[in-house]
Amino acid sequence: MKITYWLNGKKRENHIAPDTMLLDFLRTCGCYSVKCGCETTNCGLCTVWFDGKPVLSCAVLAARIDGHEITTLEGLQDEAREFAMYMGQEGSDQCGFCNPGFVMAVLAMVRELHNPTEEEMQDYLVGNLCRCTGYMGHLRALRSYMAYKQGVKA
């Protein structure tokens, strides 16, 4: 079947098998930031944006993106680099395998929540698992990053 969609701002057309999952499809498009960690929608590694909202691409049929906009980390490099400085300073990148999904969730959170409390941030990001860090470094990075973002807005 044929799908027409926008990937990271560029209009594209492809012929796909109807049972193709979005995760696999995006990797064939060269979006290697999209990772698979669990296959059961529990880990958050495959998070991408569907019309600007974070979704788990392992649980979305590629056919569903017909007429829609998909954003992966490849399309958010400047913003990713900005947040990366805070994560990197904490050493919280570690093995890095969960980073793209986590960064996609954080950048979505920044758009969606206004001045979130720490509790709200934890709730928003709870679906993004990490086995290396114990999450404390994520929180430290988020605190400094959010303070920086507030500063930019003010």
Give contact residues for another protein (rule: CB under 8 A).
Answer: 32-35, 37-43, 45, 72-74, 77, 80-81, 83-84, 87-100, 103, 122-123, 125-139
Residue 65 or 99: the one with the smaller Cβ distance to another protein is: 99
Q: What is the DSSP letter of 117?
A: -
Residue 4 or 18: the one with the smaller Cβ distance to another protein is: 18
Q: Report the alpha-carbon distance of residue 64 to residue 68 in Å, rounded.
A: 8
Residue 7 or 43: the one with the smaller Cβ distance to another protein is: 43
Smallest distance from the beta carbon of 67 to another protein, in angstroms?
Answer: 25
Q: Is 6 helix (H, G, I), strand (E, B) or coil?
A: strand
Smallest distance from the beta carbon of 120 to another protein, in angstroms?
Answer: 13
Q: Report the alpha-carbon distance of residue 99 to residue 106 in Å, rounded.
A: 10
CB-CB neighbours of 71 under 10 Å: 22
State the first-to-last Cα distance of the chain, in angstroms, to the nearest integer.
48
Smallest distance from the beta carbon of 42 to another protein, in angstroms?
Answer: 4
Is the alpha carbon torsion for 93, 97, 102, 103 positive or negative?
positive
Residue 4 or 89: the one with the smaller Cβ distance to another protein is: 89
Residue 4 or 41: the one with the smaller Cβ distance to another protein is: 41
Smallest distance from the beta carbon of 70 to another protein, in angstroms?
Answer: 14
Smallest distance from the beta carbon of 12 to another protein, in angstroms?
Answer: 19
Let me know the angle formed at the C-alpha of 90 by 85 and 96, rounded to the nearest 5 degrees.
Answer: 75
